[in-house]
Structure 1
Amino acid sequence: MGRGAQGLVRAAVVVRAGAAPLWWSGVLAAGIGVLPGGFTGRRIGVMAGAVLFVVAALWVAYSRRKRYLKLTREATRAGRHDVLQDRAVTVRNWRRGHRWWLLLGFLAAVGSSLAVPAVGGMVLAGAGAGLWLKAAWLGRRESGEDALVWLRVDWLGARAGGPVGKQVKGYRATGTAAGDAAPGGGARRP
């Protein structure tokens, strides 16, 4: 990279990267978790899991929105020499960096089904649904403001706190045609 150039990653893609693995591992863990009767029984487990699914989805979707709004409003224009990271690279890097946490979450969800069937898996699936909702919300903001928001790649890390962590000092903005991801972090449709 040239002088002053920085690698940038889309904030919405980082948020959306965890949605699918959490959703599918949660669905699988809930399916496995229904098999044993558990201490409470299947009916109570599934009903409690449904409530916790909604709670987890809403909590993940609405948490830290003020920080996202602040960073989005204060976004500066990306420089000519900044390098925009591809969507596939961002997703792959996020999933590699969090694979052990995803595995531990899956194992904990399956293990918790010995006590209360399906609850842990439904909480994981709810967190995945919440991330998807948050990415969709970011996409609507990006479309409304006609600008995609990016952050520096080096501000992300295993313990960084995601796209609104403490070390994230600000976002950069580009037009909606930049990069290979649509507003909200999904793949662009031809």
Structure 2
Amino acid sequence: MSKNADEKRVKILEAAKRRFAHYGMAKTTMAEIAKDLSFSKALLYYYFPDKNSLYSAVLEFVVEEFDKETRQHIMGLAQTEEAVLTLLSKRMDFIKRYYYIIEYTLLNRKEVSQDLEGVLINAFEMHRKMIGDLFRKGMESGELHHMDEEECSRLFLFATMGMRMMVMQDLRTNFIPSKDDFDYILAMQKKLAVIFINGLRK
């Protein structure tokens, strides 16, 4: 792909991200995204054949943005607990910023395309690896017991994600959680993280 074509693709992703984040996927049309960019619909469809493929690409774009914004910062923190708690806070801030993209749209989808499934699997693995790297760093510094960091990071991620999803299941699908709801979930996740990390300490 040429540099010019790549720049156009990024512009489309940025415009779609803004639309999806504000209105959600269901209330966003390809025509609106094209109009925002002063692009023809034909050009938009050249890069993305339908809205589902565009949504998958936007979700992947957002996941990569989170990784870039978060990894370097948390890996620079000395203590595992501080790093993990910071990661949880940043993750929640990101979910709030892109709620319609990360949570709301996914919760309302009855079917998941193969492309989207691949993005979700890669997003989970990226997040798991970030946590695993923190655990490995803690082992190397002597702060944590030796462990299988891949297994422990997977268990930790399932536990914190499960806690969030249990709260979300009690909400109507067309209801956006309040700030208090988000704060409650984050506080519970942080309590779990402290207990989890204390169990890994020497």
TM-score relative to the length of structure 1: 0.29
- The structure carrying a bigger strand percent of its residues is 1
Q: Which has the higher contact order (CA 8 A, sep 6+)?
A: 1
